[in-house]
Each structure stands twice: as structure tokens, then as C-alpha cells.
Amino acid sequence: MQYRRLGRAGLRVSTLSLGSWVTYHNQVDTGAAREMMAAAFDAGVNFFDNAEVYAGGKSEEIMGAALKALAWPRLNYVVSTKFFWGLDRAGDAVNRKDTLNRKYLMQAIDGSLQRFGLEHIDLVYCHRSDPHTPVEETVRAMSDIITQGKALYWGTSEWSAADIRAAWEIAERHHLHKPVMEQPQYHLFHRKRVEEEYARLYDDIGLGLTTWSPLASGLLTGKYRDGVPEGSRGAMESLAFLRDGLTNPAKNAAVAQLEPIAAELGGTLAQLALAWVAKNPRVSTVITGASKLSQLQANLGALELLDKLTPEVMARIDAVTRLLAD
């Protein structure tokens, strides 16, 4: 396993990491989570991603129970969570959903710590931006969470470059803890935010990236070329909004053109897609997901393709995918 610094921070995270979105509680119980986390850890993975909203808090509970059973030294792993959507979304749910106000954030961190059974969380993210709360209020609350020892680093997820810079400048001006990392979606068909919009932030403020959806929710595995397979993410009613993208004819045709490239390199389509994301030096870690151990093991094999992604190979991949990317 290779390790990279989280942007300009001193913390080092594994190039591939393991996330719990969709899978934990819905497809993976505590026993399976423990088995896959143990296998990932044995392979060198040290970062495990989560969020308050995943499975309505159950994902944090499952990961917390797995961590307790595994009993790793606390210095040996990095855990994250994210706040914004809230757990109680019924009705108006004032101050309980879709917000980054101080009241919500200060209570959200306590709830996550309780569900995880941890004394602190390593990385906490603002899961989306909040146009109704002053950025300074959010920055001060996140900085206070770190000052209180409840988290070690904070960052953002799917924020605009302008909002990230505004938050960083507020923290700089008031001598507060600055945002260190951003968690954007990044894959062969979704690239412009990482490669263009954020381009100046990497050097200007030392932004690190913990990217999600490297396989485009499974599109880049090739499984959707003939429709939506039973038991796949695309078949889940809670993720019905993904289906049009997963069955897009042009993108699936491009995926078919990538298959011989992957085969030439001795890998699978999924491994090629994962390695492509990891090839970007601005990416600190690529968050992978798996509902079974065999998927996890296959994903970890992507590291073997990294050195094979020569400029020539990258150009071939680019020729197939760039015009279809947003």
C-alpha cells in the first residue's frame, strides 16, 4: 500500500480507502463489516469513511462495533464522518436537517461520537454547503469541534471552490482551524470540478482530496451495459435517481472501449477506473466501496495497475472518455 499526505496536513492516508455509503446496514451487517475492514487493514488500508446520514446513523454504529471488536491501536486508523443532512428529516425538522448552523454541528459531533463509541473522530466534513448559514458561523463551529478535541481535521464535501476559499480565508483571518480536505465525486465521467474548478486551491491553500464514487456507482465496472442487474445499486429503489446515468448508452459504449485497455494491463475495468483516479497526484485517497470480500480484494488489486498507466495509456483512456465527462 502507498500512503499520501492529506493535502498540506501531516496526516498520511492510504491511497485506497474503504467507505460505507449504501453498503453498511443495507447490504453489510456488523460481521461482514468487521471481516472486510480487517482484510482492508491487513492490506494496508488505514482510512475508513462514513457519514451521519448513511443508513440513518446505523452505518456509524456498525463501523463503531467493528472497530471495537477489531481493537486496533487508535493511532493505526483514520475514521471520518460528515454533517449536513441530519438524522431526523420528517416534517420541517428545524435545525435538524440541511444545515450547518452552530447548534446542529455541535450536537451532531456528539451524536457521531456516541454511535462510533470513540473519543474523537479524525476527519469531519461539512457534507454540503449551506446557503442559509453564514460561512463564518460554520467555520467557527468546525474549528471549535477541533479545539475541543472531538475531531482532528475538518473539511468539506461537494463545496464550490469559491466557498472553500471563503471558509479558508475566514479561518486564516481569525486564527481558526482551517479546512484541510474536500471530498468530491471524481471518476472518468465526472472530472471538471477536481481538474479545473479546484485547480488553484491545491497550491494556494494546500487542499487534499478524499474522492468518492470512483466507479461511477458501478457504471465503470461494465455491469450496466445490458440493463440493470438484480441486486445492484441501480436496482435499489433508494438509488433510483442513478438509473438514467448508469444505463446511458454513450457512456456504456465508452466503457466497452475501455475493456481491452484494462485487459492489456492485466486488470479489470474496475481496477483500471480506480487506478486512473489514484494516478492523479492531487488525490490523497480514493474511497472504494464493497458489499462482499471478493469485491474489496479485487478493488485493492488496482494498485498493481498504477505504474502501468503511462502517458500513452492515459491518453488512450482520455480519448474514450473526456468528451463524455462533466
> What is each CA distance from 310 to 14, 33, 261, 265, 284, in whole angstroms?
22, 35, 12, 11, 20
Inter-axis angle of helices 135-147 and 161-173, nearest 10: 60
pLDDT tens column, 68-112: 999 999 999 999 999 999 998 888 889 999 999 999 999 999 999
Residue 72 has a pLDDT of 98
Q: Are 152 and 119 in contact (CB under 8 A)?
A: no
Query: Which CATH architecture group holds 3-218+277-304?
Result: Alpha-Beta Barrel (3.20)
Res. 240: pLDDT tops 70: no
Residue 85 CB contacts under 8 Å (≥ 6 apart), including other chains: 52, 53, 97, 98, 127, 128
130: cell is 449551506
Q: Are 157 and 126 in contact (CB under 8 A)?
A: yes
Q: Are 210 and 287 in contact (CB under 8 A)?
A: yes
Give the confidence band of 241 by pLDDT, cuts at 50, 70, 90: low
Residue 237 has a pLDDT of 65
The secondary element (H helix, E strand) that includes residue 156 is strand 151-156
Q: Which of 54, 104, 153, 198 is catalytic?
A: 54
Phi and psi at residue 176, to the nearest 5°: -105, 170
Annotated active-site residue 202? The verdict is no
Q: Which of 188, 173, 182, 219 is nearest to 201 (CA)?
A: 182
Residue 234 has a pLDDT of 55
Res. 132: pLDDT tops 80: yes
Domain locations in the chain as residue ranges: 3-218+277-304
- Cα distance from N-terminal residue to C-terminal residue, the chain: 30
pLDDT tens column, 162-200: 999 999 999 999 999 999 999 999 999 999 999 999 999
- Alpha helices for the chain (secondary structure H): 30-42, 58-70, 102-116, 135-147, 161-173, 192, 201-204, 243-246, 249-264, 269-279, 293-300, 311-321
